[in-house]
Amino acid sequence: MKFSDLKTISFVNFYKWDGGLPFLLPFIGYILFGLANIYFFSTAIKQIPTATAFAVWTATTLIFIKAAELAFYHQRISWMEVLFMTMIMVGILGLKIYAVQVK
């Protein structure tokens, strides 16, 4: 969304390929994925502890953002970034495996 150019959109061209659709389609996707995110997160916290669900959600978001940077913006990734993302995933597994089970 930060690369969107709102100045090119007007009422006359918002539905054209060279007008507003390059902005509107990602924006609609952003809204739909945001709503799906809220739904799935609320479903997850009904079944697992909130802290674990939030940790998984945050780590998954981090990994998807990094994958999008690699795919769309051709950014590089360092071994240290991979190491720290792996450490986050190990921490999440530790939360899941060793969490105190309340009955």
Q: Residues for the chain: how many in total?
A: 103
Share of the chain above pLDDT 70, in %: 74
The one-letter amino acid at 64:
F
pLDDT of 26 over the 60 cut: yes
Give pLDDT tens digits for 51-74: 888 888 888 888 888 988 899 888
> Does the global pTM surpass 0.75?
no
Rounded to an integer, what distance in angstroms lies between the CA atom of residue 102 and that of residue 94? Answer: 17
Q: Which two structure tokens, joined as six digits, stand for 54?
A: 């939030």
